[in-house]
Amino acid sequence: MREQFQLFAEQWWVNLLILVPLGAYYFWRRKGLALSREQLTFTALFGIGFGIVEAAVVVYLRIATGLIYASPEEILSLLHVFPVHLFLIELLREIATISMLVAVAFLGAHALKERFALFLWAFAFWDIVYYVALWGMIGWPQSLTTPDILFLIPVPWLAQIWFPILVSTGTLCAVILSLRKR
């Protein structure tokens, strides 16, 4: 089944994420980012590995809940009947994911600007690889117009797959284009 292209994500403010790579590039472009090839490589490797692990966890969660091939709409309609402890586990998983990406960025750089760049770099690799790994593991998403629940905090964020892929790809470009010339 082919979904129709949707330009906007739900919640309205999720659409503002498209400004992240643009804003980052705007602020980094003049002085540039002092990141080495090694910092970028190892942070990318973490993001790639973490994206695969996260996809596996989501597959296991969907199997455990019987929602392996459920649409985001079906999942959202069932959230109110999910046991509270499962919902809390999912919230904790999301918080842990962001915490780990922040920790890697703090370990990888000293200056705040470079830490933020490494966080976005790792996040972008994690996000792209997450969808590629899900597709490889269970054949989902079927296309870039497949809708997904991006996060649950503070409320569910909904968008088609093309949106987070575009933001992540833009972020990778912003980092690369902002590197200081050596």
Digitized pLDDT (tens) for each residue of the chain, 182 residues in all:
567 999 999 999 999 999 999 999 999 999 999 999 999 999 999 999 999 999 999 999 889 888 888 888 888 888 778 788 888 888 899 999 999 999 999 999 999 999 999 999 999 999 999 999 999 999 999 999 999 999 888 888 999 999 999 999 999 999 999 999 86
| Rounded Cα gap, residues 46 and 100, in angstroms | 10
DSSP string, 32-85: -B---HHHHHHHHHHHHHHHHHHHHHHHHHHHHHT-TT--HHHHHHHGGGS-HH
The three-class DSSP label of residue 156 is coil
Q: Where are the domains of the chain?
A: 34-176
| Rounded Cα gap, residues 157 and 176, in angstroms | 28
